[in-house]
Amino acid sequence: MSLSRPTVQLIASRRFGDARGWFTEVYSVPAFEKLGISCTFVQDNHSLSVPAYTLRGLHFQTPPRGQDKLVRCIRGRIFDVAVDIRKGSPTYGQWVGAELSADNGHQLFVPVGFAHGFVTLEDNCEVSYKCSDSYAPDSDGGIRWDDPAIGSGGIDWPLPAGTIPELSAKDAVQPLLADFDSPFPYDGRPLAPLA
């Protein structure tokens, strides 16, 4: 299969600062093409999660309306996760995660074929993300955030002991990975640890 599709990437944007504050370029077509990311983004989303330990995910859109996502936290801190759900992938069901914050300015690129979710690590977190396709309710999908089969033991969400995250009614009843028949083909690039 073609290796032209990028995999999950953690992107650290360079900040230029002085006594006034700082400036950063969060997205540029030429810069992202150098990273192997050449999708066209067509929709920007922005969410506010008021209570700490609000968990949103794990979400995706199925083909032909799959979405590449470029995620950043513009207020507060989140732990952002991508799970490989590409049929036939040697890393199927494995996950990677990273802290994204307003302070560190990091972004996570999550390509088509990966479920995405995050948990807020403090109150009043705002997350902004670009998508390569617009929202399509008929293609909306998800898997359980606490499925123990993911990564052979579940995602290691940074939740305090005994904490149950704030969930939407939909996210509380998403199917398990074992009950999901993936429509996403493997593209030849296994999931790799984040740099």
**Coil, strand or helix at 32:** helix
Question: Are the C-beta atoms of 8 and 194 separated by less than 8 Å?
Answer: yes
Half-sphere exposure for 168 (CA within 13 Å, toward CB) = 13
Give the DSSP letter of residue 110.
Answer: E
For tokens 């002991």, name the residue: 161
- Tell which residue, 40, 35, 99, has the closest CA to residue 71: 99
- 69, two tokens: 């996502």
Residue 46 appears among annotated catalytic residues: no
Name the active-site residue from 53, 92, 129, 186. Answer: 129
The tokens of 122 are what?
């403090």
Catalytic entry in 59, 92, 106, 186: 59
Helix, coil or strand: residue 192: coil
**Active-site residue 135, yes or no?**
no
Q: What is the CA radius of gyration of the chain?
A: 16
Measured from the Cβ of residue 191, the count of other Cβ atoms closer than 10 Å reads 21
Alpha-carbon gap, residue 95 to 151, rounded angstroms: 6
- Residue positions annotated with a catalytic role: 59, 129
